[in-house]
Amino acid sequence: MKCGIIGAGLSALTCAGELSTAGHDVVLFDKGRGPGGRMSTRHMQTRFGDVGIDHGAPCFDAVGPDFRAAVAVWRRDGLVAPWPAGGPQAWLGIPDMASLIARLAALHDVTWRTFVNGIMRGARGDWHVSSDRSLHGPFDAVVTAVPPEQAVPFLALHDLEMARTASAAPSRACWAGLFVFERALPAASLVLRDAGPIALAVCNRAKPLRTKPESWLVHANSEWSGSRLERKSEDIAPLLLSALQAALGLPVLPAHEATAHQWRYASSAGIGRAALWNADLKLGACGDWLTGPHAECAWTSGRALGRLVNSTFGGVSVLPEKDGLCVL
Ligand SMILES: Cc1cc2nc3c(=O)[nH]c(=O)nc-3n(C[C@H](O)[C@H](O)[C@H](O)COP(=O)(O)OP(=O)(O)OC[C@H]3O[C@@H](n4cnc5c(N)ncnc54)[C@H](O)[C@@H]3O)c2cc1C
């Protein structure tokens, strides 16, 4: 069995791991210039050298026993480290968040910088994936592992019910501010939550194995971000810098580098499903949006979908299916 996966974030790579462990071939396509998805690290060239800031998920919690077991293996293999400053269950990719995704992606056939613009089903039920580069396939199954708004166009032409389900999980946006300072800020706390427009601010330099100099990540809350969707990043960066300095109670300090990134589809509340799988069409969808706005949800969803696909094609299968959809 050969499966094409659209996306190469954590959910896609977890699904790919389940499929390849069961002996299937997997090919992943991702539009990103490199690994990370929403667990990316932005590198900036500054006069202090290269500075990498985790500008998507700054860390992730491992709560459930299965995910904790997976994280324990990543820790053994040197992919992650605990981060008590982020919370009692918080973990970091090392040396940065994107490295975790890069190491998982290295186990698979991933084509980066490839924007998928369609999926087509042939007369024999075989699938083809169309991208800005080429037509790929044939595949026996196709999986979307992208945020819901990006999955709907793929699903709608083939399974209206799946597309409706994805439409019921709208994403919220998040503006991220990335700042590099010449000197360490005299901050009392290196992690701040819920201060004015700020949902979370993290001193990136304070994380283990991160490069100096002083760098901060600011995530604006969804209300603030959602009401500024059309603003330009050069307008947003100074607003988030002022918000950071107000939250830290510091006088306005010039940042050596100040930029902003919009995560248009940052998070979705979840719809109480683990994964979607149409066993007749051999079409599936996974991603954090099915369960909740956390990396653990992405991992859980990717694993659930991999097991559902395996149950159709032969391989490990443990999850129950009802009407072609995973019931968890
Ligand atoms: C601002 C922010 C803060 C967060 N904070 C936390 C946190 O504190 N704790 C936590 O646990 N989680 C956090 N998360 C959530 C966590 O990052 C996600 O749950 C997880 O990364 C989702 O993985 P995924 O595989 O479902 O999706 P993604 O990581 O989004 O992967 C989808 C991939 O699909 C690719 N793609 C999309 N469309 C196409 C296309 N048409 N063609 C080809 N490729 C495509 C994208 O490039 C991307 O790489 C945060 C996320 C954001 C954005």
pLDDT at 161 over 70: yes
Q: Are residues 258 and 184 in the same domain?
A: yes
Angle at 177 between CA 44 and CA 67, to 5 degrees: 90
Range of the domain at 138: 2-33+112-169+270-326
Q: Measuring from atom 14 of ligand 1, which residue has the nearest CA?
A: 57
Is residue 315 very low, low, confident or very high in pLDDT (cuts 50, 70, 90)? low
How far from chain centre, in Å, is Cα 21? 22
Same domain (yes/no): 119, 216? no
**The pLDDT of residue 314:** 82
The rounded Cα 152 to chain-centroid distance in angstroms is 17
Element (H, E) at 102: helix 97-105
Q: Which two tokens stand for residue 24?
A: 């299937």
- Best residue for ligand 1 mutational test, from 14, 38, 134 (most atoms within 8 Å of Cβ): 38
CA distance 4 to 268: 24
Pairing mode, if any, of strands 127-131 and 135-139?
Answer: antiparallel
CATH assignment of the domain containing 73? 3.90.660.10
CA distance 61 to 71: 10
Q: What whole-number distance in Å separates Cα of residue 301 and Cα of residue 165?
A: 15
pTM: 0.95
Select from 225, 243, 268 the last residue of a domain: 268
CA of 37 to the centre of ligand 1 (A): 5
Query: Do residue 127 and residue 260 come from a single domain?
Result: no
- Determine the pLDDT at residue 326: 38
CA-to-CA distance for 282 and 142, rounded, in angstroms?
A: 7
Tell me the CATH number at 130: 3.50.50.60
Check whether residue 322 and residue 181 sit in a common domain.
no
Residue 89 is assigned to a structural domain of this protein: yes
pLDDT at 45 over 70: yes
In a domain, 104, yes or no: no
**The pLDDT value given to residue 251:** 81
Which distant-in-sequence residues (6+ apart) come within 8 Å of 180 by Cβ?
A: 44, 46, 48, 51, 53, 213, 214, 215, 255, 256, 257, 258
Residue range 138-155: mean pLDDT, rounded = 98
From the CA of 219, give the closest atom in ligand 1: 1
156 phi and psi angles, rounded to 5 deg:
-60, -35
Q: Does residue 103 belong to any structural domain of this protein? A: no
Note the pLDDT tens digit of each residue in 201-258. Answer: 999 988 988 877 899 999 999 999 999 999 999 999 999 999 999 999 988 778 999 9
Helix, strand and coil content of the chain, in percent to the nearest 5, comes to 30, 30, 35
Q: How far is the CA of 182 from the centre of ligand 1 (A)?
A: 31
Q: 207 C-alpha vs ligand 1 centroid, how far in Å?
A: 21
Q: Which residue puts its alpha carbon closest to atom 50 of ligand 1?
A: 57
Distance 292 CA to ligand 1 centre (A): 12
CA of 265 to the centre of ligand 1 (A): 8
Q: Is residue 102 part of a domain?
A: no
For residue 272, count other CB atoms closer than 10 A to its CB: 10
Among 99, 146, 155, 276, the mutation site with the greatest number of ligand 1 atoms within 8 A of its Cβ is 146
Q: Which residues line ligand 1 (CB under 6 A)?
A: 6-12, 29-32, 37-39, 56-61, 115-116, 145-147, 150, 174, 176, 219, 263, 266-267, 287-288, 293-298
Q: Mean pLDDT over all residues of the chain?
A: 93
Q: Do 306 and 196 have their domain in common?
A: no
Amino acid at 20: S
pLDDT tens, residue by residue, 59-84: 999 999 999 999 999 999 999 999 99
Beta strand 257-268 pairing with 171-181: antiparallel
Whether residue 186 is found in the same domain as residue 283: no
Say if residue 68 is exposed, middle or buried (CB neighbours under 10 Å; 0-12, 13-18, 19+). middle
From the list 111, 6, 9, the residue with the least C-alpha distance to 60 is 9
Note whether residue 218 is domain-resident.
yes
Q: Are residues 277 and 322 in the same domain?
A: yes
Shared-domain flag, residues 199 and 286: no
Q: How many residues does the chain have?
A: 328
Give the pLDDT of residue 84: 93
| Digit-coded pLDDT (tens) for 75-123 | 999 999 999 999 999 999 999 999 999 999 999 999 999 999 999 999 9
Percent of the chain at pLDDT > 90 equals 86
Separation between Cα atoms, residue 106 and residue 101, nearest integer Å: 9
Among the three residues 249, 268, 287, which one is the final residue of a domain in this structure?
Answer: 268
pLDDT of residue 323: 39
Domains identified in the chain, total number: 2
Q: Is residue 135 part of a domain?
A: yes
Report how far ligand 1's centroid is from the alpha carbon of 58 (Å). 12
Residue 84 and residue 179 in one domain: yes
90 and 200 within one domain: yes
More confident residue, 262 or 253: 262
User: Is the same domain home to 14 and 147?
Assistant: yes
* Residue 129: strand pairing partners: 119, 136
Does the bond joining 84 to the residue before it have cis omega, within 30 degrees of 0?
no
Q: How far is ligand 1, taken at its centre, from the CA of residue 38, in Å?
A: 3
Residues 46 and 138 in one domain: no
